[in-house]
Amino acid sequence: MVRPSQLLHPQREPAAPRPAATVLLLRDGAAGAGIEVLMTRRSPTASFAPGAYVFPGGGIDAADGAAHRIAARRPGQGDLHLTQAIAAIRESYEELGVLLARHADGRPADDADIAALRRDAPFAAQCEARGLTLAADEVYVLAHWITDRELPRRFDVPFLVARMPASQAPVADESEQFEPVWVRPADALARHKAGSFFMIFPTIRTLERLEHFESVDAVLQACASELPLWTSCPRAGLLRGAEARYMEHESPYGELELVSPDGQIVHHLDWRTDEPVRLLKNVLRLTAPNPGVMTGPGTNSYLVGDPDSGYIAIDPGPAGSEHIERLWHATGGDIRMIVCTHSHADHSPGARPLQAMCRNRPPILGLASLPTARPASEFTPDRQLANGERLMVGAGPAQHTLQVVLTPGHAANHLCLVLVEDGLLFSGDHILNGSTTVVDPPDGNMTDYLESLDALSAACDAHGIGFILPAHGHVLGAAKQAIAHLKTHRLRREAKVLAAMRARPDGSLEQWVELAYDDVPPRMWPVAQRSLLAHVQRLEAMQGGQ
């Protein structure tokens, strides 16, 4: 866990979210047109999302929890989900006059039932008086959204789904909701992009998921597990001067969580090579101006420490004079150590020029390249690092300690570094954000790579690592889950490699890559072929050892 003393912004307690429920009423469109969802426009004076097109919904109140006795429950539907479904049914009636209920004989509620109820009177009591059972068993959980941390009014709200009763037509209450409209998810998204159909972030992201479903039955079947298909509390940063929001699976999310844990919208996400980006008081990132297919936005160099402790420089990058000078200026020249995670040409060549700029000539640390390395990746440090070795600057509460974890796989001399006091992992090229690293034999080895992932997972447990700072891309959050996801991805790819080899037993690497990497653009196949070779060598070694 990051020390509070190293956070950039004062800690604050986000507003407590209020329980609420939202329901997406769905129907099948014309043949082959997919599903349609019922949406309404909120009042321009509404306190939340004024003027936005939304799904009906609102806060959960005590009466919703007390109405279980008149609600139908399906097997596996817990009390909380039942209460949420009741709230959604009530809100769909109060806002749109849609009544998800049925009589004791199974007949659905009809126009006479709807006309007999008043929207401004207690809902459950009226339904009970007419002998109606709320059709909560027909309302399913699609997603779980929690409002962004920086907003003064926050909600903890399931997005539920239900089939629109065939015989009913929506009528807005004309006080909070206006203009009910049936719309295909793809059309709503297109109209929003064109500026004629304003929607807020959770609505947009929900419609993006829904547009891939072909029928209402398919949606309800996907929700049958009683678990939300996703849960999200978005985070926002600044991109090109405007607010930009992200869900947990999107690349910038972890960085926003690290820099602004309480949700302040202050962090700029634009990639800069002309100045350092401060991630914590004791961590600076300066990205080298070497963007490309293999390097993404560029190679991230990191500076760990502060003006009192001096700095450890990690991965000074290619030997570009401007980048090296910026690293030197960012530290005031007080660099105590230079560490290279491995010897590739976009990581280590800057070490000697940076060392030469510093009066104290800080030692260059790392692992020497092996004979298997390509000529451009030859590297000899001033001193070899050992697994578990600790590198320290500062003292007491202001001490910053990097512990070495040897992680061969991407390269034979690859290592990672754990910032012990703050639970951060500097992963070099072993773990990237937004892509998987290339394992290029003979210097790269897939078995070593996977075993090194296990070592990093163990380090997460040992040091409480929450964030991964890669050499390419934004910071990753949920470190141990990210490592587990990456290992699963690698093993699934290996299964595809094995299937390709069996499908074409006399095939070449070029033929196997077409099958094993069919989800990767063909322009990337020459690069993917190197990792495919690493998988093939691993599979052959496993077969030979049986």
Amino acid letter, 213: F
Overall average pLDDT of the 68-95 stretch: 95
Question: In what order do the strands lie in the sheet containing 415-419?
Answer: 390-393, 400-406, 415-419, 424-428, 467-470
DSSP for 342-399, please give it: ---TTTSTTHHHHHHHSTT-PPEEE-PPPTTS-GGG----SEE--TT-EEEES-GGG-
pLDDT(304) > 70: yes
Question: How do residues 21-33 score in pLDDT, each as one tens digit?
Answer: 999 999 999 877 8
Q: What is the distance in angstroms between the CA of the first residue and the CA of the last residue of the chain?
A: 43
Token pair belonging to 503: 């499908």
What integer pLDDT is reported at residue 48 of this predicted model? 76
Domains in the chain, please, with CATH?
Answer: 18-233 (3.90.79.10), 271-432+465-478 (3.60.15.10)
CA distance 39 to 119: 19
| 160 closest CA partner among 97, 96, 91 | 91
Could you give the percent of the chain with pLDDT greater than 70?
100
Strand, helix or coil at 509? helix
Q: What is the mean pLDDT of the chain?
A: 95
CA 546 to chain centre: 39
CA distance 318 to 353: 10
What integer pLDDT is reported at residue 528 of this predicted model? 95
CA 95 to chain centre: 34
Contact (CB, 8 A) for 403 and 460 = no
Question: How do residues 182-233 score in pLDDT, each as one tens digit?
Answer: 999 999 999 999 999 999 999 999 999 999 999 999 999 999 999 999 999 9
Residue 488, CA atoms < 13 Å, CB-side half-sphere: 6
Question: How do residues 125-146 score in pLDDT, each as one tens digit?
Answer: 999 999 999 999 999 999 999 9
Residue 311, CA atoms < 13 Å, CB-side half-sphere: 28
CA 62 to chain centre: 34
How far lies 221's CA from each of 34, 82, 232, in Å? Answer: 15, 18, 21
What integer pLDDT is reported at residue 466 of this predicted model? 97
Confidence of residue 546 (pLDDT cuts 50, 70, 90): low
Overall average pLDDT of the 467-494 stretch: 97
CA 195 to chain centre: 27
Contact (CB, 8 A) for 230 and 145 = no
What integer pLDDT is reported at residue 113 of this predicted model? 92
Question: How do residues 485-539 score in pLDDT, each as one tens digit?
Answer: 999 999 999 999 999 999 999 999 999 999 999 999 999 999 999 999 999 999 9
Strand, helix or coil at 152? coil
What integer pLDDT is reported at residue 486 of this predicted model? 97
Token pair belonging to 120: 């401004």
Confidence of residue 545 (pLDDT cuts 50, 70, 90): low
Residue 233, CA atoms < 13 Å, CB-side half-sphere: 18
